[in-house]
Structures are given as structure tokens and as C-alpha cells.
């Protein structure tokens, strides 16, 4: 039988900040973006802050009202990435099967490690101790015979356990997992929980007991996955190749202010296409379907759109992607101010799968030009070559060059 761990870091960003500043150890602390740039959202809250009712994802001003002595620190993404890699290196000392799930969660398969490091609970304790000694971050570990059981063990039990470790065994699901509300199950969001409750399904156990054909008739393959998850079944292995062969490349941003004019919006749209194509070239791929997503400036009245269109042939050339993205934007924009904009490229193929053309003789030169520009940026920095439009007040290229994942390095 397989033995899988999900290793999750408690309040990851906040824990790193407290490790950096020991005098903040006993203070309520949150990591949040800059409210002046409309990125003032709680990214991580320490346990003391959470006791005041602060939650990840809420706005900073709301959190400050709940806790008057709240300590707010800006994110330092490069530090968090470095620490995440350090934790990966620790896990790889126990097994070669380590699969990052997010920056603060990683699956590991210790099935073949027990002869060297002992039984699962002993390995989990050793990992906790090693991570704490190296990073001063507390790890919670869920254990199961597959990834979905390990994930639900961690989310529903390890995080509420003093030891931070819980083993969710399939033969004990009736006494453990099946007692929980259906929204506590991995893969069930708010909308799905509402659908299930309308069907009279309140607990995970009730979902597990629903005949499989009924769920498949309702949701097809997704219904089958729901049934398998409720019953603790998961066939996906822990693999180091989980992020290979990506299906989409995208970039988006929350604008520092409401963008009203088309001229300003075009600047950011072009910059996003530039970043998407640069990432595509770095991955040696081209894409054929372009998607544009827009969110309106109003929080009360939701406006915006999510639309896509397909190019005649795959590309990673910026202006090809931009022309289609601009066309989509012009077709579906309601002329109202916008606060979020994103572009993505899908239907990817390898960049050496190029259909020869008798008419577009400049196409190879356009593709080659992109790779030459990437080489210059890699050597001298992402702002070594920049479009003139990015020098206007609407441009965000220089600001984004200082960030990782939308937050300052």
C-alpha cells in the first residue's frame, strides 16, 4: 500500500516574516500588498491574527478594523520562493518522489523510504523537526494511501491537531471524513456545495453513498471524480513531472487605478501579450487560442468579460497575439472603466512544429526576432528592451519588472 504525505506550511509567508523578525513573534501579523495600488489583500495571516477573525483574501482595511494592533508587512516573494525551494530540498532527503502542489504545499511518496527512515509517523515527525530547524516554519502533514486522502487529512485534521500530523485511513472514513460537511471535501467549492445540498447531500458520507450513475448523469466525469474523492479513491501518482507539458500560459494584473481610455488600456494589453509570448518562447512553445479577461472597476456591479478566439496558426510572436487580443477587447468591452486585465495563450504546441507558408515569408524572421530579444533581456534585465508605449504613465512594465507573481521581490 502506498504512503503519501501532503506537507503544508502553516501561515507560510507570515511564518517567514516572524522568523526574520523575532520581536514580532507574539504579535498578530499579516502579509499584505500595497493598499495604495489596490493590492491591499491579506496574503497570509499568522495564527494570532486569525484568532481576531482575519482571513486570507480579505481586504487589508477590513482586517485592520478587526485587530487594532495588527502588524502589516509587505510580501517579499523572492524570500518565500527561496524558502520553498529549501523545504523541497529537505523533503528530497527522504524520497525522490516530491511533487510541489503550491508554494507552501508539497506531496511526497514515502512508500519506499520506510526501511531507511522508519514508519510513516516517525518520518513525518523527522520532517517537521528538520523544516523547523532550517526555516522556523511549522509544517502540518496529512498522511494517506493516495494524494486526495493526504490532502483532506491535512486540511481537515492536521491543521487542527496539536501535533500537526494526521493519518486518514480508508477503513476509518466512516468515523472521520464522512462525518464532515460536504463543503469540507477537496474539490467542492461554494457553488458545488449548494448544488449538492439542493440534492439533499449534507455530509461527505452522504455523497459517498450516492449511486455513481446518478452523479455521472448529473455532472459527467466530474461527478465520477466527486464520488471517487468522497470514497477516498485517487489514481494519480506522486510525480516529479506534474508541471511538464503545461496547457496554458497567461498573465494578468490588477491595475493601480481605474483605466478608462482605450489608449491606456492598449498599453497594458500589449505589455501582457509581451510577457505571455516571452514565457511561451522560454518554454519553447507556441499557442493558437488567445483569451482576454476583463474585470470592471465597480465592486458592487460586476462587469467585464472572458472571451477567446483562435489564430489561423500557432505563434509566439507578440504582435500576432496582440492584434487578436485587441480585437477581442474592442468587440466585448462595454466602455466602462476596468481594474483587472489578463491575457492567456492555449492550444499549445512545440515551437519546432511550424507549418511552412508560401505567402508569409517574414514569419520565420518574426519568430527569430523574439528569441533574440529574449536573449538580450535575460542577459541585461527584462527592461533592457522596452516598447516606447511603456514609457507613458499607463505603462506598468518597469513596475512589474520589480515583482514576482504580482508582488515585490
Which spans in 186-334 are helix H? Answer: 190-198, 204-209, 212-219, 221-230, 262-282, 318-332
Give which of 214, 211, 215 is closest to 226, Cα–Cα. Answer: 215
The CA distance from 8 to 155, in Å, is: 9
User: Does residue 217 have a known ligand-binding role?
Assistant: no
The interaxial angle of helices 77-91 and 12-20, nearest 10 deg, is: 100
Q: Kindly list the catalytic residues.
A: 105
CA dist list (Å): 388 to 156, 291, 407: 51, 25, 24
Cell readout for 241 is: 513531472
Closest by Cα among 157, 171, 142, 127 to 1: 171
Q: Give dist(CA 61, CA 30) in Å, integer.
A: 12
Name the burial class of residue 14, with classes exposed (0-12), middle (13-18) and buried (19+) by CB atoms within 10 angstroms of its CB: buried
Nearest one of 112, 108, 43, 51 to 74, comparing CA atoms? 43
Name the nearest CA neighbour of 109 among 119, 125, 96.
96
Q: Tell me if 8 is assigned to a ligand binding site.
A: yes
Annotated binding residues for Mg(2+): 8, 104
Amino acid at each position: 500500500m502506498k504512503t503519501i504525505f501532503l506537507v503544508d506550511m502553516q501561515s507560510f509567508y507570515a511564518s517567514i516574516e516572524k522568523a526574520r523578525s523575532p520581536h514580532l513573534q507574539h504579535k498578530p501579523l499579516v502579509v499584505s500588498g500595497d493598499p495604495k495600488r489596490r493590492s491591499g489583500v491579506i496574503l497570509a495571516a499568522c495564527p494570532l491574527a486569525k484568532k481576531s477573525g482575519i482571513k486570507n483574501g480579505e481586504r487589508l482595511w477590513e482586517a485592520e478594523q478587526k485587530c487594532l494592533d495588527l502588524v502589516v508587512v509587505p510580501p517579499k516573494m523572492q524570500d518565500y520562493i527561496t524558502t520553498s525551494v529549501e523545504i523541497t530540498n529537505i523533503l528530497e532527503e527522504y524520497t525522490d518522489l516530491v511533487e510541489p502542489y503550491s508554494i507552501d504545499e508539497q506531496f511526497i511518496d514515502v512508500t519506499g523510504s520506510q526501511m531507511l527512515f522508519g514508519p510513516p509517523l516517525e518520518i513525518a515527525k523527522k520532517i517537521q523537526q528538520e523544516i523547523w530547524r532550517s526555516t522556523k516554519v511549522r509544517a502540518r502533514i496529512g498522511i494517506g494511501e493516495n494524494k486526495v486522502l493526504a490532502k483532506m487529512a491535512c486540511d481537515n485534521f492536521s491543521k487542527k491537531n496539536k501535533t500537526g500530523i494526521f493519518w486518514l485511513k480508508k477503513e476509518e472514513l466512516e468515523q472521520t471524513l464522512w462525518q464532515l460537511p460536504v463543503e469540507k471535501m477537496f474539490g467542492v467549492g461554494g457553488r458545488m456545495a449548494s448544488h449538492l445540498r439542493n440534492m439533499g447531500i449534507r455530509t461527505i458520507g452522504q455523497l459517498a453513498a450516492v449511486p455513481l450513475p446518478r452523479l455521472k448523469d448529473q455532472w459527467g466525469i466530474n461527478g465520477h471524480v466527486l464520488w471517487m474523492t468522497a470514497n477516498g479513491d485517487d489514481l494519480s501518482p506522486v510525480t516529479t513531472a506534474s508541471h511538464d507539458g503545461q496547457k496554458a500560459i497567461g498573465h494578468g494584473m490588477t491595475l493601480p487605478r481605474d483605466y478608462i481610455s482605450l489608449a491606456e488600456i492598449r498599453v497594458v494589453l500589449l505589455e501582457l501579450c509581451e510577457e505571455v509570448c516571452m514565457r511561451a518562447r522560454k518554454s519553447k512553445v507556441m499557442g493558437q487560442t488567445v483569451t482576454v479577461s476583463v474585470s470592471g472597476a465597480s465592486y458592487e456591479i460586476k462587469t467585464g468579460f472572458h472571451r477567446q478566439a483562435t489564430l489561423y496558426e500557432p505563434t509566439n510572436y507578440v504582435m500576432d497575439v496582440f492584434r487578436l487580443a485587441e480585437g477581442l477587447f474592442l468587440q466585448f468591452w462595454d466602455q466602462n472603466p476596468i481594474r483587472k486585465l489578463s491575457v492567456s495563450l492555449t492550444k499549445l504546441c512545440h515551437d519546432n512544429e511550424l507549418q511552412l507558408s508560401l505567402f508569409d515569408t517574414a514569419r520565420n524572421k518574426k519568430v527569430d526576432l523574439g528569441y533574440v530579444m529574449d536573449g538580450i533581456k535575460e542577459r541585461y534585465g527584462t527592461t533592457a528592451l522596452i516598447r516606447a508605449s511603456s514609457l507613458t504613465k499607463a505603462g506598468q512594465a518597469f513596475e512589474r519588472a520589480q515583482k514576482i507573481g504580482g508582488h515585490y521581490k
